[in-house]
Amino acid sequence: YAQGDAAAGEEKSESCAGCHGEDGNSNAPIFPKLAGQHASYLAKQLHEFKKGKRANPTMTAMAEPLSDADIDDISAYYARQKVTLEKAEKPNPLGEKIYRTGNASSAVPACTGCHGPDGAGNPSAKFPALRGQYAAYLEKTLSDFKSGERANDANSIMRAIAAKLSSEEIAAVSGFTAGL
Ligand code: HEM
Ligand code: HEM
C-alpha cells in the first residue's frame, strides 16, 4: 500500500457510490461506512476481496478490475471524508463493559486496546476505526468472524475474540460502538 491520490480516487469511486454513498457515509446500514476509515485498512480489505480472501461476491466483483494504484487512490479518497456519527445509544452497560474492559470470565480482551477509547483505531497497525459505523454492519461482521465466514484477519485476532462473544454480547457491543 502506498499513499494514493485522493482526487483521482474520487473519480474512480463513482461505481461505489450507489452503496457506499458519494462521501463514503453509505446509503444503508448493511453497507459499511468508508468515510474517515484508515487508507491502510481500506486497501487491505480491497486487496483481500480481490483475491477472494475476504469472501463477499459483490465486493469481489467490484474489486476485481481495480489496479494497485486504483486501490490506493480510492482508499486515500475515502480516508479523507468525514464520517457521520450515529446518535449515542440509550445506556448500554453490557456493550460499554465489553468495549472498555472485555469480559474476564470468558477471556475477551478490551476492544479499546486496539480500537482505542473513542473508536479511532490505529492506521499503522491497520486496526480499523469503528466510531460512527452502523451497528447492523458491526453486528453482521462480528457474527461472520465468529462463524469463520470472515477469515481475513491477520493471525485470527478477531476470529478468536468473536468466538468468545455470545450473540447477546455481539449485539450489545455493536450498538455501543456505533454511538462512539
Ligand atoms: C464492504 C469498498 C462498491 C457493498 C466494503 C469494504 C470496502 C469497500 C473497503 C470493507 C469495509 C470494512 O471492512 O469496513 C468498495 C469500493 C467499491 C465498492 C472501493 C467500488 C469500487 C460496492 C457496491 C456495493 C457494495 C457497488 C453494493 C452493490 C458492500 C457490502 C460490504 C462492502 C455489502 C460488506 C461486505 C461484508 O459484509 O463483508 N466495500 N465497495 N460495495 N461493500 Fe463495498
Ligand atoms: C476488525 C470489533 C477487539 C484488532 C474489527 C472489526 C470489528 C471489530 C467490528 C471489523 C471492522 C470493519 O469491518 O470495518 C472489535 C470488538 C472488540 C475488538 C467489538 C472487543 C470485543 C480487538 C482487539 C484487537 C483487534 C483487542 C487487537 C489485539 C482488530 C484488527 C481488525 C479488527 C487487526 C482488522 C481485521 C482485518 O484486517 O480484516 N474489530 N474488535 N480488535 N480488529 Fe477488532
In a domain, 102, yes or no: yes
Q: Do residues 172 and 100 both lie within one domain? A: yes
Cα of 128 to ligand 2 centre, how many Å? Answer: 7
175 in Cβ contact with 90 (< 8 Å): no
Q: Whose CA is nearest to atom 30 of ligand 1?
A: 31
132 in Cβ contact with 29 (< 8 Å): no
Q: Do residues 101 and 166 both lie within one domain? A: yes
Query: What is the model's pLDDT at position 106?
Result: 97
CATH number at residue 145: 1.10.760.10
- Structural domain including 113 reads 93-178
Q: Do residues 105 and 158 both lie within one domain? A: yes
Q: Concatenated DSSP letters for 9-68? A: HHHHTGGGHHHH-TTSS-SSTTSPP-TT--HHHHHHHHHHHHHTSS--HHHHHHHTT--H
- Cell 484477519 belongs to 153
Count of domains observed in the chain: 2
Q: Which atom of ligand 2 has the smallest separation from the CA of 44?
A: 37
State whether residue 172 is helix, strand or coil.
helix
Q: Give the pLDDT of the chain (180 residues) as one tens digit per residue.
A: 889 999 999 999 999 999 999 999 999 999 999 999 999 999 999 999 999 999 999 999 999 999 999 999 999 999 999 999 998 778 999 999 999 999 999 999 999 999 999 999 999 999 999 999 999 999 999 999 999 999 999 999 999 999 999 999 999 999 999 999
Cα of 11 to ligand 2 centre, how many Å? Answer: 30
Which amino acid does the sequence have at 171?
A
Query: What is the model's pLDDT at position 89?
Result: 75
Query: What is the model's pLDDT at position 52?
Result: 97
Q: Which ligand is nearest to the CA of 170?
A: 2
108 in Cβ contact with 148 (< 8 Å): no
